[in-house]
Structure 1
Amino acid sequence: MNGADDAEQELRYSRVRAAMAENGLDLLLAYGPGWRRENIRYLTDARVTGSAALVLVPAAGEPSAFSVRPADLGVIAQRGWVTDVVRLDFPASTVLVERLRDLAPSRIGVAHLELLPQAIADAIAAGAPGAEVVSATGLLDDARMVKSDWELAQMRRSAAVCAAGWQKFVDVLEPGLPEYRIVAEVEAELKRLGAEDNFMLIASGGDEVMGMTPPGPRLLEEGDMVRTELTPQMNGYWLQICRSAVVGRASDAQRRSFDLFNEAVEAGLSVVRPGITAHEVAVAENDVFRKYGYGEYCTARYTRVRGHGHGLHLDETPIIEGNHTVLPERAVFIVHPNTYTPIAGYHVLGDPVVVTATGYEVLIETERVLFETPQGVAA
């Protein structure tokens, strides 16, 4: 896959340094544990795989990158965005201590400070003993939220792969198929199309289904509704499709459930515009459930979020009541009111969108319907 160009690098670093200046930071330290590498990729355009990595961005001058995995050093250096690349000698982290002593910062922002190991926190204190250390997690979250033209192009590639993955999902459904075989078929198709990774949950059965999990050995039965969140990663960027399908013909209850969830999706989409908050989108979705007497199923007992941001991390800004994060133009997120109701059990439905100057653009072309397998459609 093609990496970002020099203009993209300049855009990202100018955006980050402007935010640093606004927050009075003379040094930004982006920490990336093994499960949260989005900031490392944003600042290096390199795919690292070590259990811990760091990018050090001074207010002026060249950035530095560190990783505990020697193989990451060559990957970062070859990409060329950061040429000062050093192995992190964790837990001692003496190389970081020395670099901080040379720079002598007075105010350091640490992205993912909340996840920082004590050993690295101690190294920061040793290298810059008089510095004020603050969280810069929100700073980089905000910088990454506004997607460039290049980033949106990657996400549109992910959207096409989402559609292909969902089509494979529907094509293989039949009675007697174990859940893990469905996921295996989808994973194979996504990898064939160039996906780096895929996050996927699944659930099959009737109105007793309360949520989704990794795939298990359960065998599909006629009349099952099979639900999934399917989230491929292309060139670093994740995008998700949420759909449900029926093995055979859908029941009246399953159709009523779809109608409820589709109305909630439409309500959420209808309020999307630059400057809307995550809270307002969630309220619009939840109000549909409340209108029909299903408000209790919008609570934490039955559901987690009503959608979430997408980008270099698969589950960014949560679309949830109480989160007043502003969604600016060029933000990308999915509207999905996924939850349990007693109508037909847990239902999954949602579309990813990019916020445009006048509203939104749905990024996937997959029809928003309750899919039925061919034997159900023909019946």
Structure 2
Amino acid sequence: MVDQLPPLPLALKAECLDRRRRAVQETLRAKGLDGLVAYGNGRHSFLASNPAWYLAGFRQLGPHMAVLLPAEGDPAVIVAPTWDAGRAQEQIGLPDLVAVEPADFLPAVQAALDRLGMRRGRIAVAGGVQPRLISEAWPVMLRNPELGDKLVSDLSRIRDEWSLACVRKGAAIAEAGYRFILETARPGMPEYVLAAESEAYMRGLGAEDNFQLLSASQHNRAAHRTSERLLAAGDVLLGEITPSVDGEYVQICRTAVIGDPTQTQLAAFDLLDGALRSAMAAAKPGVAARDIVEVMNAPIVAAGYEPYTKPPYMRTRGHSMALGSMDPEIAIDSDEVLLKGMVFVLHPNQYLPETGYIMCGEPVIITDDGAVPLTSRMGRLETIPA
């Protein structure tokens, strides 16, 4: 059991944030743009990017935040509400920072744009998921603003040192959380109790958030949210564990059997584990995401399960969860090409008729030698005493 994990070096964070903003400014100048508005809506999810958090290094608690980044010069930050000003100033560390009430957010942004001289030029907006009130304000406030999400996502899909430090710590938390689950789960225990205790444990290790699917059945149809069901001998326990460290999510997918696994279950897990390892070996820079799907599916198809490698039994074979970018998605229709330094979860999670749904997946980083796991040990079919 892990009692604590070392803190991350904040000097590295400051250095990387400065490099991120400078890299965006270089791109702005190269494209003839005069500035970028990066917006954050405060609803943090591993299914959506947060451009403002990526450039400010700050998890907002209120509904709005904006980073105003001119092509030349220093940025300005506007956060809401006002009571979060002290925390924002301490963590962001930029001199031009204003905290306002939510109702005053847009007027404050406009005033800052005027102060920086950004309303007179070509401005891009990286908004991520925006409320309608906000998305409709940009064309009024700015002259024909351009789409700027790719200015951030093209940079952030290649992880810098701070992002990698966060995901490595997140992977360690996820692994520790799963060990806690294996040591804590027992027949008769409600799923929601196990989920709550493991959630508290991972937050104690430094996870500021955690998307977790934790459920069990004698024959799982899919992974799903925790319920009131009592764990029982013979159950297959599924865990999709996704902690976040400073906004960077990282995911592991795990399967355990309460009691002794059957030979059929062991063979099924070995099939998926082999598919995962083949895909990892093939996932090198320059390889298309759809080709990785074909490599992963090949042994499953060869075993006679081709119909189960398609919807509704399977949607995607992996995906990114970066703070600034959702690229790549490892899907059969994806045109994305893998790049060195990309980080994402790769998973042949699969329903098989003989065993039910099985989860098997690792967070990986793309290297010249293929996808390397960020975990200390790849998942295996674990057993929990019955």
TM-score of the pair, normalised by structure 1: 0.90
Instruction: Report if the CA contact (8 A) 1:204-1:225 is conserved.
Output: yes
1:186 aligns with 2:163: no
Instruction: Report if the CA contact (8 A) 2:249-2:322 is conserved.
Output: yes
Instruction: Report if the CA contact (8 A) 2:350-2:357 is conserved.
Output: yes
Q: 2:293, 2:92 → 1: CA distance?
A: 41
1:225 is matched with which residue? 236
Q: What is the deviation of 1:91?
A: 7.3
1:96 is matched with which residue? 109
1:119 is matched with which residue? 133
Residue identity in the other structure for 1:104 = R
Residue identity in the other structure for 2:310 = T
Q: 1:34, 1:282 → 2: CA distance?
A: 33
Match of 2:339 among 324, 328, 351: 328
CA distance change for structure 1 residues 52 and 315 in 2, over 3 Å: closer, same or farther?
A: same
Q: 306-315 vs 195-204, which deviates more?
A: 306-315
Instruction: Report if the CA contact (8 A) 1:32-1:112 is conserved.
Output: yes
CA distance change for structure 1 residues 81 and 293 in 2, over 3 Å: closer, same or farther?
A: farther
Identity level (%): 30
Q: 1:289, 1:24 → 2: CA distance?
A: 49
1:234 is matched with which residue? 245
2:4 is matched with which residue? none
Instruction: Report if the CA contact (8 A) 1:47-1:75 is conserved.
Output: no
Q: 1:288, 1:327 → 2: CA distance?
A: 22
Residue identity in the other structure for 2:333 = G
Residue identity in the other structure for 1:306 = R
1:16 aligns with 2:27: no
1:311 is matched with which residue? 322
2:76 is matched with which residue? 64
1:42 aligns with 2:54: yes
Match of 1:106 among 115, 118, 121: 121
Q: 1:160, 1:134 → 2: CA distance?
A: 39
Q: 1:298, 1:33 → 2: CA distance?
A: 36
* Structure 2, unpaired ranges of 5+: 1-6
Q: What is the deviation of 1:93?
A: 1.6
Q: What is the deviation of 1:81?
A: 4.3
Q: What is the deviation of 1:352?
A: 1.0
1:173 is matched with which residue? 185
Q: 1:351, 1:198 → 2: CA distance?
A: 16
CA distance change for structure 1 residues 124 and 313 in 2, over 3 Å: closer, same or farther?
A: closer
Q: What is the deviation of 1:315?
A: 6.3
Instruction: Report if the CA contact (8 A) 1:44-1:81 is conserved.
Output: no
Q: 2:127, 2:223 → 1: CA distance?
A: 28
CA distance change for structure 1 residues 106 and 262 in 2, over 3 Å: closer, same or farther?
A: same
Residue identity in the other structure for 2:127 = H
Q: 1:242, 1:56 → 2: CA distance?
A: 38
CA distance change for structure 1 residues 5 and 315 in 2, over 3 Å: closer, same or farther?
A: closer
Alignment of 1:1-379 (within 5 A): 1=7, 2-3=9-10, 4-36=12-44, 38-86=50-98, 87=100, 89-90=102-103, 93-101=106-114, 102-112=117-127, 115-128=129-142, 131-207=143-219, 209-312=220-323, 317-374=328-385
CA-atom RMSD in angstroms: 2.3
TM-score of the pair, normalised by structure 2: 0.88
Instruction: Report if the CA contact (8 A) 1:13-1:43 is conserved.
Output: yes
CA distance change for structure 1 residues 289 and 72 in 2, over 3 Å: closer, same or farther?
A: farther
Q: What is the deviation of 1:88?
A: 6.0
Instruction: Report if the CA contact (8 A) 1:38-1:312 is conserved.
Output: yes
Q: 1:92, 1:151 → 2: CA distance?
A: 29
Query: 3-state SS of the aligned residue for 2:108?
Result: helix
Q: 2:326, 2:216 → 1: CA distance?
A: 23
Query: 3-state SS of the aligned residue for 2:66?
Result: strand
Query: 3-state SS of the aligned residue for 2:266?
Result: helix
Q: How many residues align?
A: 371
2:3 is matched with which residue? none
Q: What is the deviation of 1:165?
A: 0.6
Query: 3-state SS of the aligned residue for 2:379?
Result: coil
Q: What is the deviation of 1:95?
A: 2.0
Instruction: Report if the CA contact (8 A) 2:42-2:61 is conserved.
Output: yes
CA distance change for structure 1 residues 112 and 319 in 2, over 3 Å: closer, same or farther?
A: farther
Q: 2:36, 2:180 → 1: CA distance?
A: 43
